[in-house]
Amino acid sequence: MFAIALTPATACAIRQLSTPKCLGWDQRARKEVALNADQLRGRLEEVIGRAEEFAGRMIGSRPLIERGRIHLAVGLARAKFGDVKEAVRKRGLISGRRRRPTT
């Protein structure tokens, strides 16, 4: 069984309504999300880990389950590191690029 989460914007697109209410939801639902490299790699690693663990459970392979759990843990750690790095960057404690000191 699959579960699909419908956002108001998706529901409007499915129904193909062009009412102002649906258009308003579309505008509010759009939000730019910028991920740094560590956040992106961590999220991808999480997905890979969850998929491997699930596949291992389906076929009954303990090594595959364990490998999936390892990928999941590494992904969570890397994503959290990226989140912290982004929070520090937003506070202005460090810049996004290293600059050579000017003399």
Residue 80 lies in a domain: yes
pLDDT beneath 50, residues of the chain:
1-4, 6, 17-18
pTM of the shown model:
0.58
For 7-25, write each residue's pLDDT tens digit: 555 555 555 544 555 555 5
| Residue 91, pLDDT score | 84
3 within a domain of the structure (yes/no): no
Residue 15 lies in a domain: no
Q: Does any domain span residue 77?
A: yes
Residue 66 amino acid letter: E
Q: Quick one: pLDDT at residue 1? A: 40
Domain limits for position 85: 37-91
Total domains in the fold of the chain = 1
Domain membership flag for residue 32: no
Contact present, 42 and 75 (Cβ < 8 Å): yes
Residue 68 lies in a domain: yes
Task: List phi, psi (to 5°) of 16.
Answer: 55, 45
Nearest C-alpha neighbor of 38 from the set 71, 73, 83, 92: 83
Let me know if residue 25 belongs to a domain: no
Q: Is residue 55 part of a domain?
A: yes
- Of 34, 7, 9, 32, residue with least CA distance to 22: 9
